[in-house]
Structure 1
Amino acid sequence: MAPHRQHPAQFQLQLDHVNGSENKPRTIAQQLPPLSDGCSRLYLCRHGQTDYNMQRKLQGRGVNMPLNAEGVEQAKYLAKAMKDVPLSAIYSSSLKRAFQTADTVAQLHPKIEVQPFQEVEEMNFGKLEGHPMEVHKEEIHTMFKRWKQGEYNASWPGGESPMDVVHRGVKKITEVVSNTPPKEQVLMVTHGRFNKIVLAQMLHGELTHMTEIDQNNTCVNVIDFDHATQTYHAMALNNINHLPGPPSV
């Protein structure tokens, strides 16, 4: 696993002001600074909305829900925002909701075929999978408290711990970006809790900050990987300026 170093987001993606009145999302390629020498760029995204998102049900590695109608539209907005980015590859979790989102982006990059990976699937919530969060709120509160106290090996009953996700997820992401030549850019669509965990580890070197990282549906995290120092630099986190309305769950 690559060494890590804390890097706060250096660049906040903005809305374009048209004639001083109408706000329209600019494409991501128009907003970001150019890649530094020796760096590759990863666009790490969350999938679009599903019915379980709306119903506040736990949707982990064991739940393979497709996007709902709103999620399909969100994926289209993401694809439009990414259309001018010169991507060399598109990756995703092998779960439907992530693959559908990535495939929608790929439709505007016709020479690229989405490559799915099991290693970047959502955290496994064990026996809580598919259940309303409200039903298990005490268990969830207790688990989050243990994590906050540094018990990152604490796992859901029958499921995974944050460190389980780090071991499979950060390893795979590091493999992908290490094999992405400098100056090239790739996109990967994964999941909310997964992203919180791997971003905390990659950017801070530990998991203390994982509960502070928001991840809305189809958000874009722009992460530059320096091949010489083997470090990650956050250029933007949880960007949803491509969406026309307020964030979903």
Structure 2
Amino acid sequence: MHVHAKLPLNVKARTIFLLRHGQTDYNVQGIVQGSGVDSSLNDTGRRQAAQFFEAYKHMPFDKIYTSALRRTHESVQQFLDLGLPHEAHAGLNEISWGVREGTRITLDEDAEYRQVLAGWAAGNTHARLTGGESPEEVAARQRPFIELLKSREEEQTVLICMHGRAMRVMLCQLLNYPLSYMEGFEHSNLCLYKLEYTGSMFTVKNFLDVSHLQVPA
């Protein structure tokens, strides 16, 4: 039997909005960007960002966090234009795909890519593409940000905009899953994971939420 623990009376659960950036031309073309390709949103991505803003512009965000890459900044630019506090952290950058960044790689055509992804799912999360990062390395550079986030108790409602693979790693860490479970956290452009943090644990309230993209911007 599962029992929901009640929070102490003086503890209020914090709300974390974890957002993937909007669409880029590279996304459409199936070209990996990683941390080394600093692309901008395309017209669809900008429309997605406007739809998200329209749905959540009244949310009292205490802080906006983004990666150091422009596609995350552009995805939340309308919130930044409101003057909300903002910090960019390179620890939130996408995984590095090494020499493959800027190229089209698919499971069907690229044996090394297929082998690395299969290795991750099998638990070999130290594997990496040539010149790139492993999930373990991404997790390690995310940990200082996670500790910073946990420590800022005054930030009750937070928006974090980052990247697909890095978001999968982040969710595994926040929810105490092994990194080999990454593929269980699906993502799409401008999708939202909404989490609550009680001071001791994170729980998912909204999983792969794209309802904001169903309404006109």
Structure-2-length-normalised TM-score: 0.88
Deviation sequence 1:190-246 (CA, Å, 0-9, x none): 00011111102221332132111111111111111121x2x111111211101138x
Question: Structure 2 vs 1, CA of residues 96 and 82 (structure 1 numbering), >3 Å: closer, same or farther?
Answer: same
Deviation sequence 1:158-179 (CA, Å, 0-9, x none): 1100011111124313312321
Deviation sequence 1:27-48 (CA, Å, 0-9, x none): xxxxxxxxx9342211110000
Separation of aligned partners in 2, 1:113 and 1:226: 23
After the TM superposition, which of the residue ranges 149-158 and 123-132 deviates more from structure 2? 149-158
Aligned to 2:127: 154
> Displacement of 1:90 after TM fit?
0.7
- The yes-or-no answer on 1:50 pairing with 2:20 is no
- The yes-or-no answer on 1:238 pairing with 2:211 is no
Deviation sequence 1:142-164 (CA, Å, 0-9, x none): 00111112111112211100011
Separation of aligned partners in 2, 1:153 and 1:89: 32
Superposition pairs of residues 99-138 of structure 1, within 5 angstroms: 99-107=73-81, 110-134=82-106, 137-138=110-111
Classify the secondary structure of the residue corresponding to 2:202: strand
Could you tell me which amino acid in structure 1 is paired with residue 211 of structure 2?
A: N
Classify the secondary structure of the residue corresponding to 1:133: coil
5+ residue gaps, structure 1, are 1-35
Contact persistence 2:124–2:180 (CA under 8 A): no
Contact persistence 2:121–2:181 (CA under 8 A): no
Correspondence for 1:208 among 180, 195, 201: 180
> Displacement of 1:136 after TM fit?
5.3
User: What root-mean-square deviation, in Å, do the aligned CA atoms of Structure 1 and Structure 2 show?
Assistant: 2.0
Structure-1-length-normalised TM-score: 0.77
Question: Structure 2 vs 1, CA of residues 82 and 173 (structure 1 numbering), >3 Å: closer, same or farther?
Answer: farther
Separation of aligned partners in 2, 1:54 and 1:42: 28
Q: Percent identity?
A: 28
Separation of aligned partners in 2, 1:218 and 1:55: 17
Correspondence for 2:160 among 173, 188, 192: 188
- The yes-or-no answer on 1:74 pairing with 2:44 is no
5+ residue gaps, structure 2, are 1-9
Aligned to 1:63: 37
Correspondence for 1:174 among 121, 125, 147: 147
Contact persistence 1:46–1:218 (CA under 8 A): yes
Aligned to 2:5: none
Could you tell me which amino acid in structure 2 is paired with residue 65 of structure 1?
A: S
Aligned to 2:6: none
Separation of aligned partners in 2, 1:118 and 1:234: 24
- Runs (4 or more) in structure 1 with deviation over 2 Å come to 36-39, 104-107, 134-137
Correspondence for 1:84 among 58, 67, 77: 58
